[in-house]
Amino acid sequence: MSPVVGTRPKPAKMRANTTPALPCDWRGRLASRFGFQLAIRGQPARLLPGNIGAMSQPAIYYFDNNATTRVAPEVVDAMIPFLREQWGNPSSTYVFGRQVGEHVDQARARVAALINAEPREIIFTSCGTESNNSAIHSALVTQPEKRHVLTTAVEHSANTKFCALLQKRGYAVTYLPVGPDGALDLSQLEAAIRPDTAIVSVMWANNETGVLFPARDIAAICRRKGVLFHTDAVQTLGKLKIDVRALDVDFLSLSAHKLHAPKGIGLLYVKRRVKYQPYVVGGGQERGRRGGTENVASIVAFGRAAELAMANLPDENTRVRALRDRLEDGILAGIPGTSRNGAKEPRLPNTSNIAFDGVEAEGILMLLDQAGICASSGSACTTGSLDPSHVLTAMGCSAARARSSIRFSLGIYNTDAEVDYVLEHLPGIIAKLRANAPGG
């Protein structure tokens, strides 16, 4: 496999079947395709563990923690005062504002401590997407003579879509391929660094398969070659220890909603003395590196979540890993025609991506949803057609396999009983779908 320069490898456009593309109403489409009744789930209401506000909700078995995580009750408690009472602007000169600014500083110190950074190396952003865009943008703006970005074919769209935009603006982008297990060839990466490479941007953990790239080794190559290195560590956060000093990375992106904090808050770590040009320009917030009045309550929430994450890390790597393994082993052993996508190791402790031969992921997701189970597929529904996951197709999976794959991603709130529930219901769901498949 040779790196693809200039154009992102486009996954083959998948049509759901021979019927013309429909609006993206996959539930309706599937119901008619598979002949299922679209039942409104009539399950007995169950209180979620530690449910806030004692509102009863239908039972949810949440296995989609790579999409987002439940906001921890402690995090909600921490942010509420900044919505109710302490709503001042941290840039204001009077005490009512300045006090709020102190809480922003405290949160900055907390998230910095989680990743072994200095507080001044943290720029709060609106999300992981903004952080990725900002890092690449800064590398290009501060080195105008360099017009090449080196990345991989399996990055999140927060990276690849930005790179595609750069290409339209005349920049060159190389998308490194991966092997069938999702791994990168580091000698290929090193060889692809050019004299005009402004930045190497490679994710640490893949959001779909959980496969880990050797971020530290990539950083060492970049250091040797004198090129900036950015890693998207959005999925690593809270699951593995992040130490930016040990990693020796120039830029690192994080997003709080993967860490039991709210959506809409992220950060970009910028190593001290690395030149930085802001992406969002306006007021002088974030020491002039990101304009816009701070999202104070969410920043405070991020800080509190970072504190909790320090305590929860061992649980992610022991209990959550064991739950994930029991779920994965149970599916692979208990349901014929199943196999894992991506290497078993090195992998995030919470993620499992499984192909179910002969069944479409959307059908599985629909029936899982009816059973109250939340999981996901990498397929994107755009303008009525189904694009198979670009991650799985880059790994060499056939379009059919990519379209029959489901991601389960666990978290600290999952229990043994919930894994049992999935293992109890999934075999019947797959059998039902296979029996209803054309020729089944």
Q: Where does this chain bind ligand PLP (CB under 6 A)?
A: 127-129, 156, 158, 203, 207, 232, 234-235, 255, 266
**DSSP per residue, 137-153:** HHHHHH-TT--EEEEET
Minimum CB separation of residue 130 from ligand PLP in Å reads 7
- E strand spans, 1-71: 4-5, 45-46, 57-58, 61-62
**Alpha carbons 46 and 25: distance in angstroms, whole number:** 28
In Å, how far from its chain's centre is CA 436?
33
Environment class of 292 (CB within 10 Å of its CB; exposed 0-12, middle 13-18, buried 19+): middle
Identify the three-state secondary structure at position 4. Answer: strand
Minimum CB separation of residue 129 from ligand PLP in Å reads 3
Task: Name the DSSP letter for residue 211.
Answer: B
CB 155 within 8 A of CB 183: no
Calculate ∠ Cα 40-44-50, nearest 5°: 115
Q: CA distances (Å), 340 to each of 26, 223, 354, 362, in order?
A: 25, 34, 4, 18
Minimum CB separation of residue 128 from ligand PLP in Å reads 3
Task: Name the DSSP letter for residue 119.
Answer: G
381 is catalytic: yes
Q: CA distances (Å), 98 to each of 95, 265, 288, in order?
A: 5, 21, 18
CB 340 within 8 A of CB 353: yes
Minimum CB separation of residue 205 from ligand PLP in Å reads 7
Query: Judged by CB, which is closer to ligand PLP: 203, or 355?
Result: 203
Q: Which of 24, 127, 222, 381 is catalytic?
A: 381
Minimum CB separation of residue 85 from ligand PLP in Å reads 28
Minimum CB separation of residue 421 from ligand PLP in Å reads 25
Question: Residue 247: how many CB atoms within 10 A of its CB?
Answer: 22
For residue 26, give the nearest of 409, 360, 357, 439 by alpha carbon: 360
- E strand spans, 87-245: 122-125, 148-152, 172-176, 197-201, 228-232
Give the β-pairing of 61-62 and 373-374.
Answer: parallel
Minimum CB separation of residue 425 from ligand PLP in Å reads 26
**Alpha carbons 397 and 393: distance in angstroms, whole number:** 5
Query: Judged by CB, which is closer to ligand PLP: 146, or 290?
Result: 290
**Catalytic center residues:** 381
